[in-house]
Amino acid sequence: MLTTILAAVDGSPGSRDAASLAAAIGAATGAAVELVGVAHDPRMRLPGRDHHDTAAAEAAMTEVVTAVRDELAPDASVRVIADHAAARGLQHAAEQDGASLLVVGSADKAQAGGVLSGRVTRQTLRSASCPVLLAARDRGTEAIRRIVVGFDGGSEARLALDTAKDLARATGAELVVVAVVDDRLPVSHVPGGVVIDLADWERLVADDRAHMAAMLDRLVAPEPGITTDLRVGDPTDGLVTAAIDTDLLVVGSRRWGRLSRVVLGSTAEDLMVLAPCSVLVVPRPDAEPGVSSP
């Protein structure tokens, strides 16, 4: 359940998208929305700088964030903090506020309707303590109508599914659970070259597909208002295709990251560049009772 949503704002087009999306989710869920700006504070890295440098930076950032609030998120509060690194400032703000969600904008080179993670976003994702939502460029103020969640059966995916369910209920959006069985051939590197193991591969893929179908039937199908989509192929390609004409794609962190932190796996990292919609990454759960991770 969302209680506090933070949106990173610096006046850039991407941060305006983040503010708009945060406001839309806040209005649908009843969560409090706070627009956060990070004013550059060189004294934290170079002691002895004039205090007025920081005060001026904070005043300028406050003006920028307030203008975005007045235009795009009138019910939001404004907060400006000083730090020499924007990502660190955002992480501290999220931890201090106990944020349920941090919304960030895409880089300037992102295509309209798509996403592209910039340097600050990548740095923020490395140790974020709450879900991080990368807003698609030029999304506007449209309501969230369709949500896709990637599911592979792991504890991270189950938490992502629970998050997607909460958002779908709050926004009234259609929810589609997409599972992609990876059929890429395993490749082993040996001194003499590369060996591709073809033995029984089709049978193994078929077994994985049957196992995933049974899991979807058990965990998802009984719930009304949720549809499932089981595919075979490259996981990134499958999720990108499934997310066409979608407002939000939800995925979990990889299994070997720190608990309660966002740590991107290869699929999630690819989606931060290729997805045709906003992408929400959910951190690992604090504990994984009854679930073993490879």
Q: Exposure of 202 by Cβ count < 10 A (0-12 exposed, 13-18 middle, 19+ buried)?
A: exposed
- Residue 30 shares a structural domain with residue 157: no
CA 90 to chain centre: 15
- Residue 33 shares a structural domain with residue 173: no
The tens place of each residue's pLDDT in the chain, 294 residues long, gives: 789 999 999 999 999 999 999 999 999 999 999 999 999 876 554 455 555 577 888 999 999 999 999 999 999 999 999 998 899 999 999 999 999 999 999 999 999 999 999 888 888 887 788 899 999 999 877 789 999 999 988 888 899 999 999 999 999 999 999 999 988 766 554 455 445 556 577 888 889 999 999 999 888 866 788 999 999 999 999 999 999 999 999 998 764 444 444 445 678 888 999 999 999 999 876 655 444 433
**What is the domain extent for residue 129?**
1-141
Q: What integer best gives the mean pLDDT of the chain?
A: 85
Query: How many structural domains is the chain composed of?
Result: 2
- Residue 126 shares a structural domain with residue 202: no
141, 159, 192 — which closes off a domain? Answer: 141
pLDDT, residue 142, reads 79
- Residue 109 shares a structural domain with residue 234: no
pLDDT, residue 205, reads 87
- Residue 162 shares a structural domain with residue 39: no
Q: Exposure of 218 by Cβ count < 10 A (0-12 exposed, 13-18 middle, 19+ buried)?
A: exposed
pLDDT tens for each residue of 21-67:
999 999 999 999 999 999 987 655 445 555 557 788 899 999 999 99
pLDDT, residue 293, reads 37
- Residue 272 shares a structural domain with residue 133: no
141, 166, 199 — which closes off a domain? Answer: 141
The domain that holds 51 is classified in CATH as 3.40.50.620
141, 158, 180 — which closes off a domain? Answer: 141
| CA atoms in the 13 A half-sphere facing the CB of 252 | 26
- Residue 223 shares a structural domain with residue 269: yes
- Residue 132 shares a structural domain with residue 197: no
- Residue 45 shares a structural domain with residue 107: yes
pLDDT, residue 260, reads 42
- Residue 156 shares a structural domain with residue 135: no
- How far is residue 274's CA from residue 16's CA, in Å, rounded to a whole number? 21
- Residue 184 shares a structural domain with residue 124: no
- Residue 158 shares a structural domain with residue 293: yes
Q: What angle do CA 54, 16, 240 make, to 5 degrees?
A: 125
pLDDT, residue 15, reads 95
